Amino acid sequence: MSLLKRLLGGGNAPEAPASAPVLVNAYATLVDLPPLDLPHRLLGARDRSDPELAEHLRGFVGYVMSRGDGQMTATRYYVWRHLQRVRHHVSFEIDEAHLGWIEPWAKAANALLFLPDGSVRAPDGAIVIDAQGEGDPDAAIPFPDDAVARRPRTRAALADAVLQPPAGMAPALGAGELVLRAPEEVLHRALALLYLAARAHARATGLPAIPAGQEEHNPLGAAALTPQERAFLADEGADADAAAGLTWRYEAANSLLWALGVAGAEIDDSSAMADVDRLWASVAPLTRGAGAQAVRLRPASEILDALDRTWLEHWIVRQARQKEVEPGHINGDVVVERHVALNWLTNFQNEPEVAWDDTDTPT
């Protein structure tokens, strides 16, 4: 019997006695789960190393989306995003007398709770969404404290923007949820993006590719191309517009190289394009030998600041395009590429370890 069916029970299941312990399933997004220091009987615990957890979470998302009229709401959306970030699933029984112990642990674990009545609950027990698709509008989906604290700083930085994101727009990741790509993988991806953009620019203009787009000068980048990137380069019939569009991958490469602390990579100004010549001069020494193994990522807090800002900037860009107004001091093409790069780097709004070609940037 599936876990959800076991929790919800069959139609002929007898009523449990009043003194029966309460079955709780907790879905925590933190990489390091805090100790379950409350009176309980553990029934099961698994993390992302269990291949069945991903399938279970997809099924749980389907359950949430199917409640009531099944229409997408802000609450359903953020429950979905929470489940997408889940790193630990813990199932335990606890006596009713000890239910008050759950809240501080669930807050510390950044966990949503699922109870046998079919309800998804906040750490304090408030109903986020019940089996009929209803919920308490004041129920708060949990977010890590540092992610919540970052949002006012992000909004202050964008205070002069023509359009302002909704007040209820959730924060991005917290440091305790963050799983970054390995530095060497990030460097190889950035070099591949430089290679692709240089080759695309050469095709769009008819000029020779700069060294970044030449295999003898950028062997790591040529070797790290994705299937879609290889397909484009192999298709001699690709039109000039498609090639010109891919030259914006310089901006994605710039963002990843910034995350690696490479000199010449800057993202402070969201209206400015990368200086490709300076960028290549800074990274060229890392394309061969042991230099690629010495790269390090910036502190997580800096990457998360950039992620939160870029997410809101991309929202502004999309809304500006829909309303046919200028987005202000934001270059939309730069921000789009930066969002792809940072979402891939942090696995934000995507399944863990998503491929570059499949990276999504919802706003």
Model confidence pLDDT, tens digit, residues 17-45: 455 899 999 999 999 999 999 999 999 99
What pLDDT was estimated at residue 291?
Answer: 67
What pLDDT was estimated at residue 113?
Answer: 98
- Please give the Cα distance from 72 to 256 (Å, whole number): 33
Extract the runs of DSSP E, i.e. beta strands, from the chain. 22-28, 41-47, 88-94, 111-114, 120-121, 127-129
pLDDT digits (tens, 9 = 90+) for 172-231: 999 999 999 999 999 999 999 999 999 999 999 999 999 999 999 999 999 999 999 999
pLDDT digits (tens, 9 = 90+) for 58-117: 999 999 999 999 889 999 999 999 999 999 999 999 999 999 999 999 999 999 999 999
pLDDT digits (tens, 9 = 90+) for 73-87: 999 999 999 999 999
pLDDT digits (tens, 9 = 90+) for 304-317: 999 999 999 999 99
Instruction: Evaluate if residue 46 carries a pLDDT over 90.
Output: yes
Nearby residues of 156 by Cβ (< 8 Å), 6 or more positions away: none
What pLDDT was estimated at residue 288?
Answer: 72
Nearest to residue 99, comparing CAs of 36, 28, 24, 15?
24
- Please give the Cα distance from 14 to 329 (Å, whole number): 63
Domain ranges of the chain: 3-129, 145-179+299-358, 183-294
Average pLDDT, the chain: 92
Tell me the three state secondary structure of residue 261.
coil
Nearest to residue 97, comparing CAs of 198, 22, 5, 4?
22
**DSSP type of residue 13:** P
Instruction: Evaluate if residue 238 carries a pLDDT over 60.
Output: yes
Q: Number of C-alpha atoms within 13 angstroms, CB side, residue 323?
A: 11
Nearby residues of 198 by Cβ (< 8 Å), 6 or more positions away: 209, 210, 211, 212, 213, 214
pLDDT band at 53 (very low <50, low <70, confident <90, very high): very high
Instruction: Evaluate if residue 8 carries a pLDDT over 50.
Output: no
pLDDT digits (tens, 9 = 90+) for 269-326: 999 999 999 999 999 998 876 666 778 999 999 999 999 999 999 999 999 999 999 9
pLDDT digits (tens, 9 = 90+) for 325-344: 999 899 999 999 999 999 99
Cβ burial of 51 (10 Å; 0-12, 13-18, 19+) is: exposed
How many residues are listed for the chain in this entry?
A: 363
Q: Could you give the percent of the chain with pLDDT greater than 70?
A: 94
**DSSP type of residue 329:** S
- The percent helix, strand, coil of the chain (3-state, each to 5) is 50, 10, 40
What pLDDT was estimated at residue 289?
Answer: 60
pLDDT digits (tens, 9 = 90+) for 174-189: 999 999 999 999 999 9
Six-digit token pair at 203? 């095709």
- Please give the Cα distance from 343 to 7 (Å, whole number): 34
Tell me the three state secondary structure of residue 362.
coil
Q: What is the DSSP string of 184-227?
A: HHHHHHHHHHHHHHHHHHHHHH-SPPPGGG-TTT-HHHHHT--H
